[in-house]
Amino acid sequence: MKHKKWISAVLCIALAGVSPSGTLLHAEETAALPEAVEETVVPEETDASSDEETKSHTLSDGEYEPDGFSFTGGTGKLRITCGKVTVRDGQATASLTFDSGKIIYVKVNDVQYEPVSQTEDTSVYEIPVELNTNYSILACTTAMSEPHEIEYTLYISLGNEEDAFAEEDLVRMENAPEVTGFTYKGTVRNESAAYFRIHCYSGNVRLLEITLSDDETISWEAGDIESEDSLYSGEVLRYLIVPEGTELPAGLDEEMIVIRLPVASVCTDSETAAACLTDAEVTKTGDEWTEDSIFRTLLTNGTELAAVCADEAETIDSLRKFGEGCALLGIPVLADRSGSEMSEEGQKEWAKVYSLFTSSAGPKTSGDREPKI
């Protein structure tokens, strides 16, 4: 019950004490607020012309193997694969294979497409698509008593730069986590650090794993997200670090803590973080993470990332609660365990973690990329 009251306090601060611009309201302004606040989703501003340029227009004409592919929708019984993407005059066309012979047509933006080939078990379609973004289609199936259109959301990753880490800095891991829509490239080599791992994926997407376990044998199993109370409940916290302008497959933000670049404003009690985050405006704090006033500080400073020392059981417990509160405000919380490393070399390696946030370069589309197929 105490925990629920604490979360309620966060919402009260967010809704009643702070204006939409992030500044504190005076008493007379707060009194003028309506009694009930209707939840409103404000879409992010995007530059449509810029988006179009990054999807396929800078790729040379030819056939490509996608860097990554994912889809959502339907009952989960149907499987869709994307074998190739063809670019002609700036337009991308995907070859999609449905593992059902009962898909009689596919609609894209109200335009109907017939299968290019079909058997009892498969249906192959070639349809126009947008790259590196969620893209909806309708597929009509006769598997039911009557033909029925089912909506699917596709995500095809293609044309982004390779990861900024040098190839010699990466090792291949058999148990590396899968990130829907992106291809695993390798894991950054750690010489001494034991409490974090950095996995690299196509499109300059990185997955940072930080373990909160102090066992001699550290397990990197993140557990079943659906069985956890929140993304901060598990023994392994997973942070998906996403370049500016990258759209994620639907639902990925429910599986991992998403941090979008660039990170311009950081609030931290970590000396390591403060020393490494030279590109961001850093606000140093003390031990007031458990006080309600910290949320006012985060909002008024426009904080985009909070980095909290988590070297003891007590601080780890506080971090979990703090992370849940910040999640309501859309602020990711990073667990800094540099102080738990057994050696000075291990502590210094945490500079690799913070280097992930020091570059504001987004996923630049490679204009000179040659077709793979």
pLDDT reported for residue 268: 92
Provide the pLDDT for residue 231. Answer: 93
CATH number for the region 57-157 comes to 2.60.40.1850
Q: Where are the alpha helices (DSSP H) in the chain?
A: 2-16, 27-31, 48-52, 271-276, 293-300, 313-329, 344-348, 351-355
Q: For the chain, what percent of residues have pLDDT higher than 90? A: 44
Residue bearing tokens 């390591």: 272
Strands (E), the chain: 62-64, 68-73, 80-88, 91-98, 103-108, 111-113, 117-118, 123-129, 134-141, 148-157, 170-171, 184-188, 196-201, 205-211, 236-242, 257-260, 265-268, 281-284, 305-309, 333-336
pTM of the model: 0.63
Mean of the pLDDT values across residues 82-105? 93
Q: Where in the chain is the domain with CATH 2.60.40.1850?
A: 57-157
Distance CA 299, CA 25 (A): 12
- pLDDT recorded at residue 373: 53
| 3 state SS of 79 | coil
Write the pLDDT tens digit of every residue in 8-64: 455 454 444 444 333 333 334 333 333 433 443 444 444 443 344 334 446 788 999
The CA-based angle 352-355-357, given to 5 degrees, is: 135
Average pLDDT over residues 292-313: 89
pLDDT tens per residue across span 246-269: 888 888 999 999 999 999 999 999
